[in-house]
Amino acid sequence: MASSVHLTETFTNPPNYSFPHHRLQTVLRDPSKTPIVLVACGSFSPVTYLHLRMFEMAKDYVRQNTSFEIMGGYLSPVSDQYKKPGLLSAHHRVNMCTLAAEDSNTWLMVDSWEAFQSYQRTAIVLDHFDHEINTVLGGVRTESGEHRSVRVMLLAGSDLIGTMSEPGVWSYTDLEHILGRYGCFIIERAGTAIDQATDNLARWRSNIYLISQLIQNDVSSTKVRLFLRRGLSVRYLLPNSVVDYIEQNGLYQDEASSTNQPPNNSTDKGKDRAVSAGSSKKEKETQ
């Protein structure tokens, strides 16, 4: 990893917030490996089986191709201040992610820190995880009691790398922090010029791990919302608990009613142009 300095010295927590770590492995089984935690940032509106499948693909890749050991995985739903079409309120999105994680996995958790406050850049979100896991919780230990710091790594779809390689979309500082300090696992998807994108990010190539989908899955939240508005079934595209939650709460029946629009046509405050552009594109993969 590169610099060990966070981009901020303090972290503001939402009201009544506590960092979830009930499934975080605290003992490193193989002392020769580097402990890591995977973090997927996205809208998750709604969360789909592809979002969950990304973690399993990463787990297989890590086990077979790296010297890492996964200690846990997190879904981090974006704030309502992200203000994009189809973005349901954070309350519902966090609830759906929690249902999906608890029902579908034994090592996946949902962190609501990003969801219930003002918009936070991905670099800051990763810093938050690093702070909570390594500073607050004290990292992990080997079976012999040796302390180890956990490396936080971003998990995302290949569209993310596409936006990162576009000039002016992400700030260089954030790219250096995300790809240089932390690194990322990227799930390849059809239609993304992944080779060109990684060529443009050659400076950080050693920290970008590309994972092929051996069974193609192009389920997206956008398609799920379209199905729901048309009254079509979405079972087996999402966990049953999430489908039940959507039906019980009458969600996504009308795209306009589920969209977080800026009040009084206001725009995101306090962001420069490059950061605003990045926030509008960075999660295209997890729409």
Q: What are phi and psi of 71, to 5 degrees?
A: -100, -15
Q: How many domains does the chain have?
A: 1
Whether residue 239 lies inside any domain: the answer is: yes
**List of the chain residues with pLDDT < 70:** 1-4, 190-193, 196, 255-287
Q: What is the largest CA-CA distance in the chain?
A: 58
Q: Which domain holds residue 234?
A: 27-249
Tokens representing 29? 């089984």
CB 163 within 8 A of CB 284: yes
Contacting residues for 206 by C-beta, under 8 A, at least 6 apart: none
- Is 10 part of any domain? no
Distance of CA 279 to the CA centre of its chain: 13
Output the pLDDT for position 71. 98
Instruction: Establish if 237 belongs to a structural domain.
Output: yes
Sequence-ordered list of residues with C-beta below 8 angstroms from that of 145, at least 6 positions apart, any chain:
none
57-111 pLDDT, tens per residue?
A: 999 999 999 999 999 999 999 999 988 877 999 999 999 999 999 987 789 999 9
Burial code (b: 16+ CB inside 10 Å, e: under 16) for 39-77 equals: bbbbbbbbbbbbbbbbbebbbebbeeeeebbbbbbbbbb
pLDDT the model gives residue 266: 32
End-to-end Cα separation, the chain, in angstroms:
29
Residue 164 maps to a domain: yes
Q: Is residue 287 part of a domain?
A: no
Instruction: Give the long-range contacts of residues 96-101, CB within 8 A, separation 24 or more.
Output: 96/44, 96/46, 96/47, 96/242, 96/245, 96/246, 97/44, 97/47, 99/239, 99/241, 99/242, 99/245, 100/47, 100/51, 100/52, 100/75, 100/238, 100/239, 100/241, 100/242, 101/52, 101/75
Nearest-angstrom CA–CA distance, 119 and 121: 7
Q: What is the pLDDT of residue 190?
A: 64
What pLDDT is stored for residue 217 in this prediction? 86
CB atoms within 10 A of CB 276: 15
Contacts of 5 (CB under 8 A, 6+ apart): none
Q: Which long-range contacts (CB under 8 A, 24 or more apart) does 212-220 make?
A: 212/188, 213/57, 213/187, 213/188, 213/189, 216/190, 217/49, 217/50, 217/53, 218/50, 218/189, 218/190, 219/48, 219/49, 219/50, 220/48, 220/50, 220/287
CATH of the domain at 227: 3.40.50.620
- Write down the pLDDT at residue 243: 97
The Cα 224–Cα 229 span in angstroms is: 9
Instruction: Supply the pLDDT for residue 98.
Output: 97
